Amino acid sequence: MSSLSLRDRVRRLVESKPFQSAIIALILLNAVVLGIETYPAVMRQFGDVLHFVNAITVGIFVVEIVLRIIAHGKKFFTDPWSLFDLFVVAIALVPATGGSAVIRVLRVLRVLRLLSAVRSMRLVVGALGAAIPGIASIGGLLAIIVYVFTVMSTTLYSTVSPAYFGDLARSAASLFRIMIGDGWPDIIAPMAQDDPWVWLYFILFTVCATFIVLNLFIAVTVEAMDRQKAGEPGGESDQLAEVLSELAALRVQLDRIEKRADPPRA
């Protein structure tokens, strides 16, 4: 007789790689089915088959959620990713008829379950969430840079190119196009025919607003991803803690051996 409880057996099942791989494959299959269902001609010919596959897929998702609740108990409802999976599966169970037809659009959320099923995707999303404070600060810096150049551009070029820099709103829209590389041929090139220094001015703006700030965004995101990776189960911090714990246990065993080896003194 095995000493493992039912919860331990179920946890071992849901955390096994074959089970997780099967769920990922099922999510991909469901994504393909949802895409095929957008073709009316295909639905007229294979609609019943696709509905059957969709129903089987949802049924397996429900069984998976139930198994995970059994395996993790209350911890399931404290994990954001598990709650997201529960919400997506619950949406799939709502009948898409009558006033609930909008639920059919929400069925595509099932594809997002890949974010929770694939560890690397989960890591990226978690890193983006952890980087929000830094991204907000960099966004504030970008807003300040754009506002300064907006006022300067309106002051310098409102008479030269009123269609693009006649007021703050037009200047902000034009600078945004320049920042993403869209406005150089039709905004900057005509202005530079009369004033070649226009190139230097807007190149300086592009370097400050695009290259420097973009690299800051990348740096903050990469740093958050490193922290997220170190904090995940099996990450660097967990591995270090495990090594320290083993060293402490080894030190205790060595102390016991030394005490046994030392002869008692008279």
Q: Could you read off the pLDDT of 89-120 as tens digits, one per residue?
A: 888 777 655 545 566 666 777 787 888 777 77
Q: Is the pLDDT of residue 61 over 50?
A: yes
* H helix runs in 113-196, sequence order: 113-117, 119-130, 132-157, 162-165, 168-179, 189-192
Q: What is the DSSP letter of 2?
A: -
pLDDT of residue 102: 61
pLDDT grade, residue 231 (50/70/90)? Answer: low
Residue closest to 63 by CA, chosen among 22, 32, 29, 94: 22
| pLDDT confidence of residue 1 | 43
Residue-level pLDDT at 233: 53
In the predicted model, what is the mean pLDDT of residues 3-15?
83
SS (H, E, C) 28-71: HHHHHHHHHCCCHHHHHHHHHHHHHHHHHHHHHHHHHHHHHHHH
Higher pLDDT, 238 or 134: 134
The per-residue pLDDT for 245 is 73
Nearest alpha carbon to residue 121 among 151, 81, 152:
81
Task: Kindly report, residue by residue over 149-190, the tens digit of the pLDDT.
Answer: 999 999 999 888 898 998 999 999 999 999 888 888 888 888
d(CA 31, CA 113): 10
The pLDDT of residue 95 is 67
Q: What pLDDT, on a 0 to 100 scale, did the predictor assign at position 101?
A: 54
Which domains are delineated in the chain? Answer: 6-117 (1.20.120.350), 132-231 (1.10.287.70)
Does residue 228 carry a pLDDT above 80?
A: no
Q: Residue 55: is its pLDDT beyond 90? A: no
pLDDT at position 150? 93
- Please report the pLDDT score of residue 169 as a whole number: 92
Q: List C-alpha distances in Å: 260 to 182, 199, 226, 246, 256.
A: 79, 83, 46, 21, 6
Q: Give the pLDDT of residue 250.
A: 77
More confident residue, 251 or 44: 44
CA neighbor of 206 nearest in space, from 235, 165, 177: 177
Rg value, the chain, Cα: 29
Instruction: State the average pLDDT for the chain.
Output: 82
Query: Which pLDDT value is given to residue 100?
Result: 52
The string of pLDDT tens digits covering residues 236-258 is 555 566 677 777 777 777 777 77
Using CA atoms, how far apart are residues 18 and 151, in angstroms rounded to an integer? 59
Any residues with CB less than 8 A from the CB of 130 and at least 6 apart, and which?
A: 224, 227, 228
Query: 255 or 79: which carries more pLDDT confidence?
Result: 79
